[in-house]
C-alpha cells in the first residue's frame, strides 16, 4: 500500500473509504493526506454517507479503572492520536458544515456533531456518557498562567453578520423522561450538575466559583430567568442547613446593608441584605 493509503495493510484497516483518495493540496496550501469526494445527484432523497465505520466487539478491555476520568478508555470504532508541537492552532476533529437549505419544518436542519449512545442493558452500576470532554494540563513544572485558559467545554451561538437569529442559545441542556415504570428510591434527575473537585492537599485558586455568570459585553436583562411552561418549581433554591452558606434558625441583626433586585412578573422587588446575624 502506498502513502495515499496511510501505509495500512488490508488486515490492519477496519474500514474502507470509497471514492477518490489522493494526497491533495487545496488553494490555501493545506495538505490532505486522504481526500474523500462523492458525486451526488441534484436532489437527494436518501441518506448519503461519504464514509462509514462499523465495529461490533465484546471487548472488556479498559485502560484505567474508570471511564469518568481522562485516563480511562476502551475499544473504539475510530481512534485519533495527534501530537501538536506548533505555535498555531490544532484540531483533533475539525468540522465545517454549511447549511444553505431554507428550512421550514420544526426539527429539520443540520447538526455539526451528533452522538447518540443507547443503553439496552440492565445496569446496577457504571456510566453511560453521550459525550465527555476533558481539557487536561499535565506537566510537573510547566505553568499555565492566569492569561491562559483550560476549558473543558465551550459553546457559542454566534451571530456573525447583520442577518438576525431571533432565538440564540449558547448551550441547551435537557432531560426528557418517558419512563412509566416506578423509578425507585434514591433516583436523581438533574438537568445540570456542577461537580467541584478540589483534591485533598491541592492548592486553592484565588477565586473558586461553582457557577459564574459573566456579563462580558452589553446590558442583559436577567442573570437568571425562570420560565414556567408546566407546573413550575416548588422551590427557588434548596440549601443544606449548615451555614455553608445558609442557616434556617438564626436571625439577622443590624441595619439593612444592601439589597438584591429581583423581577417577579412585571414587578420589581428587593431582597434585603444585612451585615450580621445572631
pLDDT value at residue 172: 95
Half-sphere exposure of 42 (CA within 13 A, CB side): 0
Nearest residue to 122 via CA among 64, 68, 181, 178: 181
Provide, for the chain, the percentages of residues in helix, strand and coil under a 3-state DSSP scheme, each rounded to the nearest 5: 0, 10, 90
- Angle, vertex CA 168, rays to CA 44 and CA 151, nearest 5: 100
Task: Please state, in angstroms and rounded to a whole number, the distance separating the CA atoms of residues 83 and 62.
Answer: 23
pLDDT at 36: 73
Asked if residue 262 lies in contact with residue 272, where contact means CB atoms within 8 angstroms, the answer is no
Q: Provide the 10 A C-beta neighbour count for residue 67.
A: 17
Query: Using a CB cutoff of 8 Å and minimum separation of 24, what contacts does 61-66 make?
Result: none
Residues 6+ apart with CB under 8 A from 46: none
Using CA atoms, how far apart are residues 228 and 250, in angstroms rounded to an integer?
32
Per-residue pLDDT in tens (0 to 9) along the chain, 278 residues: 333 333 333 333 333 444 444 555 665 667 777 777 777 767 778 888 888 899 999 999 999 999 998 989 999 999 999 999 999 999 999 999 999 999 999 999 999 999 999 999 999 999 999 999 999 999 999 999 999 999 999 999 999 999 999 999 999 999 999 999 999 999 999 999 999 999 999 999 999 999 999 999 999 999 999 999 889 999 999 999 999 999 999 888 889 999 999 999 999 999 999 999 88
Cα–Cα distance measured from residue 6 to residue 33, given in angstroms and rounded to the nearest whole number: 8
- The answer to whether 130 touches 115, Cβ cutoff 8 Å, is yes
CA 152 to chain centre: 8
Q: How far is CA 93 from CA 26, 49, 78, 113, in A?
A: 18, 17, 12, 10
Instruction: Enumerate residues 6+ apart whose C-beta is below 8 A from 277.
Output: 247, 250, 251, 252, 253
Q: What is the pLDDT of residue 5?
A: 35
How far is it, in rounded angstroms, from Cα 131 to Cα 185?
27
Confirm if 275 and 257 have CB atoms less than 8 A apart.
Answer: yes
Q: Report how far residue 189's alpha carbon sits from residue 185's, in angstroms, rounded to the nearest whole number.
A: 12
Residue 25's pLDDT is: 61
- pLDDT at position 222 is 95
Amino acid at each position: 500500500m502506498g502513502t495515499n493509503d496511510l501505509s495500512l495493510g488490508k488486515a490492519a484497516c477496519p474500514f474502507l473509504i470509497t471514492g477518490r483518495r489522493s494526497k491533495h493540496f487545496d488553494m490555501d496550501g493545506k495538505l490532505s493526506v486522504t481526500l474523500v469526494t462523492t458525486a451526488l445527484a441534484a436532489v437527494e432523497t436518501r441518506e448519503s454517507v461519504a464514509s462509514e465505520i462499523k465495529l461490533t466487539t465484546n471487548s472488556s478491555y479498559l485502560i484505567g479503572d474508570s471511564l469518568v476520568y481522562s485516563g480511562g478508555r476502551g475499544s473504539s470504532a475510530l481512534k485519533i492520536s495527534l501530537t501538536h508541537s506548533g505555535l498555531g492552532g490544532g484540531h483533533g476533529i475539525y468540522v465545517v458544515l454549511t447549511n444553505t437549505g431554507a428550512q421550514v419544518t420544526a426539527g429539520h436542519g443540520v447538526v455539526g456533531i451528533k452522538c447518540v449512545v443507547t443503553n439496552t442493558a440492565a445496569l446496577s452500576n457504571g456510566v453511560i456518557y453521550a459525550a465527555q470532554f476533558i481539557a487536561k494540563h499535565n506537566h510537573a513544572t510547566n505553568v499555565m498562567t492566569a492569561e491562559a485558559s483550560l476549558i473543558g467545554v465551550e459553546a457559542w451561538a454566534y451571530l456573525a453578520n447583520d442577518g438576525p437569529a431571533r432565538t440564540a442559545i449558547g448551550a441547551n441542556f435537557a432531560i426528557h423522561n418517558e419512563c412509566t415504570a416506578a423509578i425507585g428510591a434514591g433516583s436523581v434527575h438533574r438537568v445540570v450538575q456542577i461537580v467541584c473537585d478540589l483534591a485533598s492537599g491541592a492548592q486553592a485558586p484565588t477565586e473558586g466559583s461553582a457557577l459564574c455568570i459573566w456579563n462580558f459585553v452589553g446590558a442583559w436583562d436577567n442573570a437568571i430567568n425562570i420560565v414556567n411552561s408546566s407546573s413550575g418549581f416548588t422551590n427557588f433554591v434548596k440549601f443544606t442547613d449548615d451555614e455553608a452558606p445558609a442557616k434556617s434558625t438564626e436571625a439577622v441583626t443590624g441595619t439593612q446593608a444592601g439589597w438584591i433586585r429581583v423581577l417577579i412578573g412585571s414587578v420589581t422587588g428587593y431582597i434585603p441584605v444585612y451585615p450580621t446575624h445572631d
